[in-house]
Amino acid sequence: MAGGFSVLPASAGADEKAGSGTKILGPAWARFPILTVGLLGVQILWSVEMSYASPYLISLGISKSSMAMVFIAGPLSGLFVQPLVGILADSSTSRWGRRRPYMLAGCSVAAFSMLLLGYTREFAAVFTGRDTPFNDRLTIWLAVLAIYLADFSINAVMSVDRALMVDSLPPSLQAPATAWAARMLGFGGLFGFFVGNLDLPAILPSFGSTELQVLSVIVAGILVLGHLTTVLLVKEEPFERPDGQRPPSLMAELRRLFTSMFSLPRTIQQICLIQFFASMGWFPILFYTTMYISDLNARSVSTSASMGTQAEIAAQGARLGSRGLFFSAILSLLTNLFIPYVTRTANTPSGQRFKVPLTTLWAYSHLVFGACMLGTFFVTSVNAAIFTISITGIPWAVAQWAPYSLLGEAILTSTTPTTTIEAEGNPLLESPVKDVEHGAAAKLDIGNQAGLIIGIHNIYCVIPQFIVTILCAVVFSIFEGPESSASLTAAADLEVRPNSVVYIFRLGALWSFVAFRICRRLGRELGR
């Protein structure tokens, strides 16, 4: 960051500075919505991908085991894109600021990728014509490309969205800011899953003839408009390098990223470790819920007198899966609106110590999630599955808020004058601040490296996704075989074929219990 912070009073007027380096235009009450409105479009994009990508790829003829490898795009982008964009933005000297140029570029690519996903067959027809075998193959490749582009670009956008919040606000405002971010994510999830229950082609026929086509246009528009609002109303002060300092090379930045992972402050390290195990449980839920409910629905209709066509059953299953995620989003949003008022954070006044500590709330949210995953042992109907998925909205609300609030506080409190760390060998320093020959100690300002720290945090979130993705591919291939997508509605096949997704869900309970133990230890160390 280019300077220190000053806390905005509640009566602050328009154009009041959020800090010496960043200025937020507009009334004081709007500064949190302005900073976080971009996450609304981010979550809508994720909601659409979670609800529609799996059924759409299966409808194109991709097997479940192959589809699991397609979704490795998410962890790949999180592993490389977020940290790389974070460290590049940290050292950017653009006159538009460090975060906003990457925000605009990422949004543009993400919007294009959503349009490509919705209109893959139409894009393919430009080169191959319609209703040809080559058109079918090109459509599959373009759909996979669209998912990779969407995941890579939206991870870049999320990285700078989070870093801009840390840059713009002092430690005392990180908790309310991340609460607003969680609300935006909640509203985005609610909107994304709600529209999935509507007959959108009938409502907006000019946007497309399928649900996915209409949604792709809506998502692209909301994503761009939300981030344009932030870009226009948040004014960053350009970062200036010290005189004579050259910009670091890409290899130097990558080395700094790697070495920084092993020298994080203990609090940040434990937050990252908790996220590692929590992500092991959450990744299957986020991407395979629709498949899980669709499979249960296909089994139920296979025993009925009228099964319908494969396309009709697949469409019905997608709607039911979207409904479960919609109910989960409702519960998540309601939780996000309520829990900040009963939760104790670092700046809670002493007279309100009866509130629940944030670390305690985060810890027990892992237990709730684990209980939901164990509940799949008893789920045999679509309605029971929808209920179970809905309950996961409670721990998901906490997961959207608690770790980012604690991380933002930890990053910024490391910049306080009482924190001194010797610079020798410390990779978080942007430039040497210690004279090794004279042994002079200097103060470390990791707050100036918010993008780097957030990127490292995301690495801990996505490495388990690689593990789970490979595990999913193995489980799907063992239990369902490579041709499972083609025989999705065959009654005889459904009677003997297990719902393989539940095995991945149940393993998630184990990881959540590990996250609970580490989170409780973090709470004891922080004294809250």
Tokens read off for 229 = 């609002």
pLDDT tier at 434, thresholds 50, 70, 90: very low
C-alpha 99/C-alpha 205 separation (Å) is 37
pLDDT of residue 218: 93
pLDDT of residue 371: 95
80-89, 338-347, 348-357: range with lowest mean pLDDT: 348-357
Sequence-separated (6 or more) residues with CB below 8 Å from residue 329: 47, 186, 189, 190, 192, 193, 194, 393
Above 60 in pLDDT, residue 433?
Answer: no
Q: What is the pLDDT of residues 99-151, one digit of tens each?
A: 899 999 999 999 999 999 999 989 998 888 777 888 888 999 999 999 999 99
What are the structural domain ranges in the chain?
Answer: 22-526
Above 60 in pLDDT, residue 239?
Answer: yes
Above 50 in pLDDT, residue 460?
Answer: yes
For residue 88, the one-letter residue type is: L
DSSP string covering 358-421, please? Answer: HHHHHHHHHHHHHHHHHGGGS--SHHHHHHHHHHTHHHHHHHHHHHHHHHHHHHHHTTSTT---
Q: How far is CA 310 from CA 57, 60, 79, 116, 528, in A?
A: 14, 13, 37, 25, 54
C-alpha 447/C-alpha 408 separation (Å) is 9
pTM of the model: 0.73
Once rounded to an integer, what is the mean pLDDT over residues 426-435?
36
pLDDT of residue 23: 83
Q: How far is CA 216 from CA 59, 70, 219, 315, in A?
A: 17, 19, 5, 17
Above 60 in pLDDT, residue 494?
Answer: no
Q: Are 57 and 143 in contact (CB under 8 A)?
A: yes
User: How many alpha carbons lie under 13 Å from residue 526 in its C-beta half-sphere?
Assistant: 25
Once rounded to an integer, what is the mean pLDDT over residues 328-357?
77
Once rounded to an integer, what is the mean pLDDT over residues 431-445?
36
Helix (H) or strand (E) holding 23: strand 22-24
Q: List, in sequence order, every residue forming a beta bridge with 24; answer none if it has no partner.
A: 234
Highest mean pLDDT among 53-57, 122-126, 317-321: 122-126
pLDDT of residue 423: 37
The structure tokens 């760390």 sit at 421
Tokens read off for 177 = 């800011």
pLDDT of residue 528: 62
Buried b (16+ CB within 10 A) or exposed e, 430-456: beebbeeeeeeebebbbbbbbbbbbbb
pLDDT tier at 439, thresholds 50, 70, 90: very low
Tokens read off for 214 = 């209409």
Highest mean pLDDT among 49-53, 120-124, 364-368: 364-368
357-361, 485-489, 504-508: range with lowest mean pLDDT: 485-489
pLDDT tier at 200, thresholds 50, 70, 90: confident
pLDDT tier at 491, thresholds 50, 70, 90: very low
Q: How far is CA 219 from CA 43, 195, 203, in A?
A: 10, 11, 16
Above 90 in pLDDT, residue 237?
Answer: no
Among residues 278, 288, 520, the alpha carbon closest in space to that of 398 is found at: 278
Sequence-separated (6 or more) residues with CB below 8 Å from residue 49: 147, 150
Once rounded to an integer, what is the mean pLDDT over residues 330-359?
77
pLDDT of residue 486: 42
pLDDT of residue 478: 79
Dihedral sign (CA 90, 94, 100, 101): negative
Q: How far is CA 75 from CA 69, 126, 261, 353, in A?
A: 11, 31, 17, 39
Place domain 22-526 in its CATH homologous superfamily. Answer: MFS general substrate transporter like domains (1.20.1250.20)
pLDDT tier at 298, thresholds 50, 70, 90: confident
Once rounded to an integer, what is the mean pLDDT over residues 348-361?
73
Highest mean pLDDT among 108-122, 316-330, 437-451: 108-122
Sequence-separated (6 or more) residues with CB below 8 Å from residue 241: 91, 93, 247
pLDDT of residue 304: 54
Once rounded to an integer, what is the mean pLDDT over residues 497-505?
77
Once rounded to an integer, what is the mean pLDDT over residues 243-249?
66
Q: List, in sequence order, every residue forming a beta bridge with 19; answer none if it has no partner.
A: 5
Residue 359 Cα to chain centre, angstroms: 20
Q: Give the angle 94-98-99 at the CA atoms, nearest 5°.
A: 125
Tokens read off for 452 = 């780097």
27-36, 116-125, 147-156, 337-346: range with lowest mean pLDDT: 337-346
C-alpha 181/C-alpha 401 separation (Å) is 8
pLDDT of residue 184: 92
Highest mean pLDDT among 22-31, 170-179, 200-209, 382-391: 382-391
Is residue 246 classed exposed, middle or buried when 0-12, 13-18 and 19+ CB atoms within 10 A define those classes? exposed
Sequence-separated (6 or more) residues with CB below 8 Å from residue 385: 292, 293, 296, 324, 376, 379
Among residues 60, 56, 139, the alpha carbon closest in space to that of 322 is found at: 56
Once rounded to an integer, what is the mean pLDDT over residues 335-343?
85
Q: List, in sequence order, every residue forming a beta bridge with 344; answer none if it has no partner.
A: 357
C-alpha 226/C-alpha 34 separation (Å) is 9
Above 90 in pLDDT, residue 221?
Answer: yes
Mean pLDDT of the chain: 79
Among residues 92, 167, 91, the alpha carbon closest in space to that of 411 is found at: 167
More confident residue, 15 or 399: 399
The structure tokens 């393989």 sit at 500
67-76, 135-144, 174-183, 439-448: range with lowest mean pLDDT: 439-448
Tokens read off for 9 = 């009073």
pLDDT of residue 326: 82
Q: In 10 A of CB 504, how many CB atoms?
A: 23
Q: List, in sequence order, every residue forming a beta bridge with 236; answer none if it has no partner.
A: 22
Tokens read off for 260 = 């920084």
Characterise 129 by phi-psi region: left (phi > 0), alpha (psi -120 to 50), beta (else). left
pLDDT of residue 308: 58
Helix (H) or strand (E) holding 36: helix 31-36
pLDDT of residue 18: 43
Highest mean pLDDT among 71-85, 421-435, 459-473: 459-473
